Amino acid sequence: MATTPDRARVRLRNISSRAYEHPADRGALVALRSLRGFDEVFKRLSGLFNERALRLMFLASAVRVDERQFPDIHDYVRDAAYVLDLDRVPELYIQMNPQPNAMAIGSSRPFIVVTTGLVDLLGPEEQRFVVGHEVGHILSGHAVYRTMLLALVRLAARVAWFPLGYVGLRAIVAALEEWYRKSELSCDRAGLLTCQNPEAAKRALMKLAGGSRLAEMNVDAFLDQAREYDAAEDIRDGFIKLLITQGQTHPFAVVRLAELDRWIAEGSYQRILTGDYPRRDTDTDARISEEARSAARSYREAWERTSDPLVGTLRDVVSGAAATGSKIFDSMADRWRNGPGRRTTA
């Protein structure tokens, strides 16, 4: 059971992960959670991912944090579980690896792995942000769906010799990678909610791009980089950005910091801290159609906000297609609600 943190932080009792999830991430999760029999399908896919074996591997080859080993980091994961109101504090392992990285693994009993490279790179409050980010993945249940992505990536590699099968799988993988990137934006927000220190969160993201020499970096200059990356010089840069994003499971650091800064500026962070957020016991009331519209709206707002010339060229075409898709979705939803053979009323 999560216990009280070492300094006063706002506890977000019964908070639903929907409070911090990016609309595109939230829409996908609500749809998947609503599928009957999904848990059984996942159990079958989990045969490709032995959670028990992985935990034993880290138990044998890494350091499990507790009151005696890395006690400060143990406090960070304990505090994150307290703030996000988890029933159980996840296990956390420190793995010897100079590459800065962290991940949440598992579905029935998720745990967190943080590399020594990340521990050495970040200061205490920045570490707190990263640990909270991973606890956010656990609360959202992202590990379940990420397992599917890993399984499909392996399958796509195996059928690469068969062009038609590969093209179909590659399209699914590309869609899952886009969701994966949005889930990272979600959990940057979760990390901020747990550490409740916006400057520390921004420092952590900057260090992931530029290393430990924080005195040589500047948040405003880094945000200028984000704006320049977004704008691009001409349509060719827009195509290049699409190409370099393929295969990426994480948004680039400048994008992550800009998105987190925007989320803070629009007031969502402060509203949650004051208690204005959806509760876990209302998750079953979430409607797929509403979340789908919210996801579409978030993409539309991003298209309208961007200065990317490629997006500007495609904006009208995509918006028209989205409107048509929305009408088709609403029609199918009406048919599903009314059942076969029933007619909708005007």
DSSP state of 18: G
- Beta-carbon contacts of 217 under 8 Å, excluding residues fewer than 6 positions away, are 206, 210
All residues at 6 or more sequence positions from 22 whose CB lies less than 8 Å from its CB, including other chains: 182, 183, 185, 186, 189, 298
Residue 40 falls in the annotated catalytic set: no
Distance CA 176, CA 183 (A): 10
Which pair of tokens denotes residue 243?
Answer: 């190409």
Of 21, 134, 177, 291, the catalytic one is 134
C-alpha 158/C-alpha 173 separation (Å) is: 14
Q: Is 260 helix (H, G, I), strand (E, B) or coil?
A: helix
Amino acid residing at 312: G
Token pair of 240 as six digits: 């290049």
What three-state secondary structure class fits 154?
helix
Separation of alpha carbons 173 and 159, rounded Å? 13
Rounded to 5°, angle at Cα 239 from 235 and 245: 140
Residues with catalytic annotation? 134
